[in-house]
Structure 1
Amino acid sequence: MATDRRRTRRTGALTRASVRRGSGQRPRRPEEEDEGSTGRMRFVQSPTTWLLGILLAVVTVTFQDVLTASVKTILPLDRVPDRLSPQNAIDVVEIKDVKDIGYYVVRDAEGAGSAADRKIIEEISSGRSWRKGRRAVDAGNAEWMITVQGRAAQQIRITDIVPVLEGGRCEKPLGGSLVHFPSQGVTDVIPLELEVDAPRPRLKISGKDGKDAEPFFTGPQAKHITLNQNETEAFIVRATASTGYCRWRYRVHYEVGGGTAEMTISGPGGKPFELTARMTDASGYRKVYFPSFDCLPSGPPPPHSWYEQAGAEYARDRRSGKVPPCPEG
């Protein structure tokens, strides 16, 4: 039988068209996968890889230090960012009571009486730190020396120091016992004045040639205090009160690193500063304690240097405005 030449012979071979249509990635054999994973782990654990990682870390840190030093050399100090927080740029080194001589009010404690009076006289006569314990409050005036130090790498500029009253106002003057007592001396530092019970209390500095005190941080003659790194500055605030009992802290405004910040300065132990006006009539005090130079002795110098009187008697003896005789006993 003759074969039809036009008919195509069927075979089992794949045509090129079928290869293209059915082309795809051949699945990896298990042994090939194991070989790839083992190769990657071998690379990671290689000593050369670890050495390259350590060298890269060292180079990165060194570059950062060199870049920081270069920036500080090129840019002005007040434009270089500081690693310290601006809120921690100033340290309060010391707060010291430097009142030279003046009056204090001793709060009446529980059980106040003759025993308490004798204890006060003993403490005053011995020269011990009788004012500690917050029983004694400056009366009429107070003098505190505040020492601050700059911590930032760039210069700090203190632009204002504002007293902030506890409760927003002063209260009526304190009663109790009045003490006239000399304290320690004062060093030569920046003297600032503060009328703490004024309507708008501000720090001032005495004017030249007897002129009235002028604002220190504000006004046409405004000044500021600068602190370089590790530099200290001390200033004395001479506060007065004529009408009330005041408790306050200082809010310090300053500039550092091209920005502004503020901090709070409190009194010793983190408590507010405090000052009371003296009563206009000394008879309002339970007792008054004063040294021998506040009166005229009638005979030889007394064996002790302190006297005590009831407030009413002290007021009576001084109504004339003259120095009265020393009380007997």
Structure 2
Amino acid sequence: MATNRRGTRRTGALTRASVRRGSGARPPRPEEEDAGTTGRLRFVQSPTTWLLGILLAVVTVTFQDVLTATVKTILPLDRVPDRLSPQNAIDVVEVRDVKDIGYYVVRDADGAGAGGDGKILEEISSGGPWREGRKVVDAGTADWMITVQGRASQQVRITDIVPVLEGGRCEKPLGGSLAHFPSQGVMDVIPLELEVDAPLPRLKTLGKDAKDAEPFFTGPRAKHITLNQNETEAFIVHATASTGYCRWRYRVHYEVGGSTAETTISGPGGKPFELTARLADASAYRKVYFPALDCVPPDSRLRHTWYEQTGAEYARDRRSGKVPPCPKS
């Protein structure tokens, strides 16, 4: 057993103090800790680090766009996530009134009292947009041009367009005042016929007369409308009503990318289309407005003049065969 210079013994055994001191790693010196922190902070704030981060973000976004475009060209439309669904494969570009010449009913609320009739006549005579804002309703006939566009990368095939009546049926014809007004011309597009107050209204192709009309989308000669991406198609629906006042929208059935879907076409402003039958007896109308075109040649200088009669006067003159109060020269 060895002794040190002071004469004490050395046993070689570990004391508690030595175990505590040697049981953990040596804590870093303050100057070492400051040096490490400063180095990391300097790296984060480095311009090179920021530039690398921006480049990485740009590369990531570009890669995602390329990958999505590639998947879109390979997979059917209805299987591409977060992209156009079959329910959005058709866009309604325009719904426009293109009635040429016909009759309109001025609603009672817009024509009665407080000089309402005079105001309507003034608007008609001035050539202003008196038919806008649903002040009037088409009477007897209506012509609407509807333009649709394909939005899907695959071809859209319209298989049927069905009128859906508000409330499931038409109501009794509207009263009020009657106006006969020439309007804008009809364009050369797909013509379709619709007897909206028929027991089972369907879109038909126009023939030489109503008897020659046959269903457009159904039957032995059924047709369909196809739309490629960004392709537009316009068609005019010539609607007639002889017994009631009808409000309706169109339900469009189509196929795209191996799926079937449908959409709805409404009138301007998202409101239903409207059409009323003319009253059998014109004397039931409060007033009747008609242009000089009803009684003078189209080249007459008086062709823009408008006239007004009560419903009773108009009915009486028509029954007796008399010429309404038009200019004599």
> Who is 1:259 aligned against?
259
The normalised TM-score by structure 1 is 0.75
Cα deviation, residue 133, structure 1: 2.1
Deviations, residues 262-290 of structure 1 (Å, cap 9, x unaligned): 11111111111000001111111111111
Q: Which residue of 2 aligns with 1:239?
A: 239
Structure 1 residue 56 displacement after superposition: 9.2
Bigger drift between 287-296 and 123-132 goes to 287-296
State the distance in 2 between where 1:100 and 1:67 align. Answer: 52
| Structure 2 equivalent of residue 280 of structure 1 | 280
The answer to which of 238-247 and 74-83 deviates more is: 74-83
1:192 is aligned to 2:192: yes
Superposition deviation, residue 57 in structure 1: 8.3
**In 1, Cα distance between the equivalents of 2:61 and 2:301?**
76
Partner of 2:156: 156
**Secondary structure of 1:236's aligned partner:** strand
State the 1:115 CA deviation. 2.0
Question: Measured at CA, do residues 208 and 125 of structure 1 come closer, stay the same or move farther in structure 2, by a change above 3 Å?
Answer: closer
CA distance in 2, matches of 1:211, 1:116: 41
SS of residue paired to 1:123: helix
- State the 1:213 CA deviation: 1.0
Alignment-mate amino acid for residue 237 of structure 1: V
Partner Cα distance (1:107, 1:303) in 2: 28
User: Helix, strand or coil: the match of 1:133?
Assistant: helix
Which residue of structure 2 lines up, in the alignment, with residue 36 of structure 1?
none
Q: CA RMSD in A?
A: 4.0
Q: Which moved more, 1:145-154 or 1:134-143?
A: 145-154
How much does 1:69 deviate? 5.1
What's the CA shift string for 1:104-151, capped at 9, x where partnerless?
000112672482222112111111000112121000000001111122
Q: Normalising by the residue count of structure 2, what TM-score does the alignment of the two structures yield? A: 0.75
Deviations 1:164-201 (A, max 9, x none): 10110000000001100001111111111100000010
Percent identical among aligned pairs is 84
Q: Which residue of 2 aligns with 1:212?
A: 212
> Structure 1 214/327 Cα, relative in aligned 2: closer, same or farther at 3 Å?
closer
Q: State the AA in 2 paired with 1:204.
A: K
Asked if the contact 1:202/1:215 (under 8 Å) is kept, the reply is yes
- Counterpart CA distance in 2 for 1:205 and 1:267 is 21
Instruction: Name the structure 2 match of 1:135.
Output: 135
Question: In 1, Cα distance between the equivalents of 2:67 and 2:119?
Answer: 66
1:217-258 per-residue CA deviation (whole Å, 9 max, x = no partner) reads 111211111112211111111000000000001111111221
| Aligned-partner SS, 1:175 | coil
Q: How many residues align?
A: 311
Distance 1:59 1:119, change over 3 A: closer
Answer yes or no: is the 8 Å Cα contact 1:78–1:155 preserved in 2: no
* Matched residue, 1:146: 146
Answer yes or no: is the 8 Å Cα contact 2:76–2:257 preserved in 1.
no
Give the direction of change, closer, same or farther, for the CA distance of 1:122–1:60 in structure 2 (3 Å limit). closer
Q: Which amino acid in the other structure matches residue 179 of structure 1?
A: A
**More deviation, 258-267/106-115:** 106-115
1:1-329 correspondence to structure 2 within 5 Å? 83-109=83-109, 112-113=112-113, 115-207=115-207, 212-295=212-295, 305-320=305-320, 324-328=321-325
CA offset digits 1:52-96 (Å, max 9, x no partner): 999998888777656655556567889878811222222211111
For residues 114 and 67 of structure 1, the distance between their equivalents in structure 2, rounded to whole angstroms, comes to 66
In 2: Cα distance, 1:111 partner to 1:285 partner: 11
- The residue type equivalent to 1:227 in the other structure is L
Change (3 A) 1:210 1:286: closer
Change (3 A) 1:130 1:177: same
- Residue identity in the other structure for 2:195: E
Q: Is the 8 A contact 2:241 2:277 kept in 1?
A: yes
> What's the CA shift string for 1:15-55, capped at 9, x where partnerless?
xxxxxxxxxxxxxxxxxxxxxxxxxxxxxxxxxxx999999
Q: 1:140 to 1:67 in 2, by over 3 A?
A: same
When residues 72 and 303 of structure 1 are mapped into structure 2, their CA distance, relative to the original with a 3 A threshold, is closer
